Structure 1
Amino acid sequence: MTKRNLLYQVFIVLFLVSCKETEVAPQQSTVLDGEHLLLGNPSSATSDEGNFNNYLIERPQYALSYSRDRGTPNWVSWYVSKDWLGTTDRQDDFRADQSLPSAWYKVAATSYTGSGFDRGHNTPSADRTKTVEDNSATFLMTNMIPQAPNHNRQTWANLEDYTRDLVNDGMEVYVMMGNYGSGGTGSNGLAQTIDQGRVTVPNRIWKVLVILPEGVNDLSRITTTTRVIAVDTPNNSSISSDWGAYRTTVDAIETATGYNLLSNVDEDIQVVIERQTDRGPTR
């Protein structure tokens, strides 16, 4: 073998070794279990400040679309599993959300005072008890709506308790909650707005739960038999404490709001699960 041929073969070997060492590993999917927008972004909200009535806020604890003009979220989306539940006390540190654009009005902790409406959580305090930071994040006013007291403390509390019962029984739950319309009835009677007209009182409050057994690859595990609970309720004090009486379909909520709630779910599966009204247990 000539010296030239030997050098050529050494070059080939070194080239192949170099290629193997710089091989790029396959990219992992950017859609991960437990992401608060795993099922979709219902209103295609963005974090562009010009999108002031559909402004996307993403936190480690939940994601939401905020309306500057209404002074409330349009919808909030979050995930509940045992990993989010712990023993942290309720922080009760209601406060304005300083992360909003500087020129926007920021609803204050006192904005609901004397209105006859509760500062109603979307993502519940009790769904975020792993750490003080997690629980505290639920008390930002961008996570609140003016909610009739009986609605908040009875009907909605019962549905929230049921959600956590499911989790404690070995399930994981993806939740979306929102509101629409104006005019609710609190302890002081009917009101369209509070806080000198800067916060709209919703007429209807809805919630959708997608329930899965504990596992991995959540999005791919949603099938036509997955239990989906959709609830649409009036925002008033005379509401029944039985949330099951207000069950409806995802399709009906989408028609009322214009949202696409489960847009990341396979379309053929969406067609089936969005048209069904849940008939399962309520406690």
Structure 2
Amino acid sequence: MFVSCSQDEDVIPKGDNLAMGNPSEAGTDFANYFIQKEQYAMSYNSYRGTPNWVSWHLSSAWLGSAPRQDDFRGDNTLPDSFYRVLPSDYTGSGFDRGHNAPSADRTLTITDNSATFLMSNMIPQAPNNNQQTWANLENYCRKLVSQGNELYIIMGQYGKGGTGSAGFKETLAGGKVTVPNRIWKVIVVLPVGTNDVSRVTSGTRVIAIDTPNSNNVSSSWGTYRTTVDAIEAKTGYDILSNVPTAIQNVLEAVEDNGPTS
């Protein structure tokens, strides 16, 4: 696992992107293929042409002034037997190339930002879901960072079929890319520190949302708050598997009611 830490206590470290656990025990299975990049970790599903989930750490150590690269491209690091999704596979579909790990969460260097534009980091996402609901939540996450926090974020999707700007579709690219029905995210909020997993307590704020992949979605992400338990029941994942079980049992049953902006 990639961990970059500074010996200078005044410098906030980049945490381990997979610190909270490997939700699906991803490995070498083509439907649950583990990919570790410096900027994020994921389980990739070669049959769906999308990630099952992507996990990343967000702190001020990852944020800088690198501009948005917009260099959408196939991921040439995938195994040769995998279909490598291309940006053009989404063209005219009515769905955005929706980032999992967001571009604006990786602005320290051009390399970091460019890594978020690999198509392996994308799902077909209804434009209003991507540009409004999801954008508002991503902006709120970065606001939490500006207030002295660091976050561990896991985003994923499940089901088949969504409604974009051109109507309902189940797949793109002749069936090579599955359009998800639901899109979820779990966010663990910690004050900046070290030994992050050990600092998760039964009082830690955990935000879980589960949205329909629809262009009729509300722009208010708070509308879609749920529990980690509910997402796990839908996906079969163990989302915070590295957190002690007793603490997981408390945190994952609670629906967040904190601020949304």
Q: TM-score normalized by structure 2?
A: 0.95
Give the alignment's Cα RMSD to 1 decimal. 1.2
Question: Counterpart of 1:141?
Answer: 119
Question: Counterpart of 1:242?
Answer: 220
How many angstroms does 1:189 deviate by? 0.4
Listed one character per residue, the Cα deviations across residues 61-88 of structure 1 (whole Å, up to 9, x for unaligned) are: 0000000000000000000000000000
How many angstroms does 1:104 deviate by? 1.5
Q: Supply the distance in 2 between the matched residues of 1:130 and 1:36 (Cα, whole angstroms).
A: 16
Contact preservation (8 Å) 1:150, 1:237:
yes
Return the match for 1:219 from 188, 197, 208: 197
Contact preservation (8 Å) 2:73, 2:118:
yes
Contact preservation (8 Å) 2:64, 2:109:
yes
Q: Which moved more, 1:174-183 or 1:31-40?
A: 31-40
Listed one character per residue, the Cα deviations across residues 132-171 of structure 1 (whole Å, up to 9, x for unaligned) are: 0000000000000000000000000000000000001100
Q: Which amino acid aligns with 1:96?
A: G
Contact preservation (8 Å) 1:112, 1:194:
yes
Question: Counterpart of 2:19?
Answer: 38
Q: Which amino acid aligns with 2:212?
A: P
Return the match for 1:230 from 166, 186, 208: 208
Return the match for 1:179 from 142, 153, 157: 157
4+ long deviations beyond 6 Å: 30-33
The 5 Å alignment of 1:119-198 reads 119-198=97-176
Q: Which amino acid aligns with 1:168?
A: S
Unpaired stretches in structure 1, ≥5 consecutive residues: 1-29
The structure number with the bigger radius of gyration is: 1
Contact preservation (8 Å) 1:77, 1:177:
yes
Secondary structure class of the residue paired with 1:159: helix
Q: Which amino acid aligns with 1:195?
A: A
Q: Supply the distance in 2 between the matched residues of 1:105 and 1:216 (Cα, whole angstroms).
A: 39
Q: How many aligned residue pairs are there?
A: 251
Q: Supply the distance in 2 between the matched residues of 1:109 and 1:193 (Cα, whole angstroms).
A: 15
The 5 Å alignment of 1:56-135 reads 56-135=34-113
Q: TM-score normalized by structure 1?
A: 0.87
Contact preservation (8 Å) 2:48, 2:178:
yes
Contact preservation (8 Å) 2:73, 2:86:
yes
Identity of aligned residues (%): 63
Contact preservation (8 Å) 1:42, 1:261:
yes
Secondary structure class of the residue paired with 2:87: coil
Q: Supply the distance in 2 between the matched residues of 1:128 and 1:36 (Cα, whole angstroms).
A: 12
Inter-CA distance 127–104: structure 2 relative to 1 (3 Å threshold): same
Q: Supply the distance in 1 between the matched residues of 2:97 and 2:129 (Cα, whole angstroms).
A: 12
Secondary structure class of the residue paired with 1:129: coil
Secondary structure class of the residue paired with 2:209: strand
How many angstroms does 1:59 deviate by? 0.4
Secondary structure class of the residue paired with 1:196: helix
Secondary structure class of the residue paired with 1:92: coil
